[in-house]
Structure 1
Amino acid sequence: MAKRNNDHINIQDALKEFVETNKLEKGLDKVNVKDAWVKLMGNGVNNYTTGIQLERNTLFVQLSSSVLREELNYGKQKIISMLNEELGKEIVKKLILR
C-alpha cells in the first residue's frame, strides 16, 4: 500500500504529478490535438474531416473533400503554428492531409 502524504497540494499539481508518474502525456497530447483541430478549424472543415491521428510529431488528417485538402495544403505551416499555440507547446511538427 502506498504511503500517505500529509502535505496539502492543489488538485492541478496532484493531476500533473499523476500524469507524469504514469507517463500519460502522449495519450493526453493525442486527445488535446484532436480537440484543438475541432476548435480551430470550425464547422466548415470539421464536416469534411473523417479522421485525426497523431503519431510521434506528425498529425495525419483524413479529409473527404479533395478540394478542401488542396486548399489546406497551402496553409500547412500556419495550421501547425496555430495548433501548437493552442496547445501551449510544440507537439505537431508535420501535417499530412489525406
Structure 2
Amino acid sequence: MKKHKSSENYRQADIIPLKDGISALLKAYRIQGKLNEVVVVSSWERVMGKAVALKTQEVFVSKGKLFVRLTSAPLKHELVMAKTRVLEIINAEVGEEIIKEVVFL
C-alpha cells in the first residue's frame, strides 16, 4: 500500500495554530473590538481589586470610553485623581489601547 504523500503535505500546509485561526475569524467578522471591551469589563474586579469591586455598581464601555458607576464618593474622588493610572492598567490588561478615557459616575 502506498501513502499519498501529496495529500499529507497538503494537509500539513493547511494546519495553523488555533490562536491564529481564532484571530483570523475575529478579524473577518470584525468583532475583536467588542471582545476586547468584554474583557475590560469582566476583568475590572481582578485588575482593580476586591475593595474597589465591592463599591462598583456598574461597569460598561461605549465608544472607547469606560464608564464606572461607584457607590462611594471618596473612592470616586480617589480614582478620578488616579484616572491616567487606571487607564494604563486597563489597557495593559487587554494588551492594546482599547479605552481612550475613563469616566467615573
- TM-score, normalized by length of structure 2? 0.82
Q: Which structure 1 residue ranges, 4+ long, deviate > 4 Å from structure 2?
A: none
Out of 54, 59, 65, the position equivalent to 1:47 is: 54
Unaligned runs of 5+ in 2: 1-9
Q: What is the CA RMSD across the aligned residues, in angstroms? A: 1.5
Report the secondary structure of 1:32's partner residue.
helix
Report the secondary structure of 2:49's partner residue.
helix
Out of 29, 32, 35, the position equivalent to 1:28 is: 35
C-alpha contact (below 8 Å) 2:40/2:94 kept by paired residues? yes
Q: What is the Cα deviation at residue 76 of structure 1?
A: 0.3
Unaligned runs of 5+ in 1: none
Q: How does 1:14-93 map to 2 (within 5 A)?
A: 14-93=21-100
Match of 2:7 in 1: none
Compare CA radii of gyration and give the structure with the larger one. Answer: 2
Taking every aligned residue pair, what percent have the same amino acid on both sides? 28
* Distance in 1 separating the partners of 2:82 and 2:29: 36
> Within the alignment, does 1:11 sit opposite 2:18 as a pair?
yes
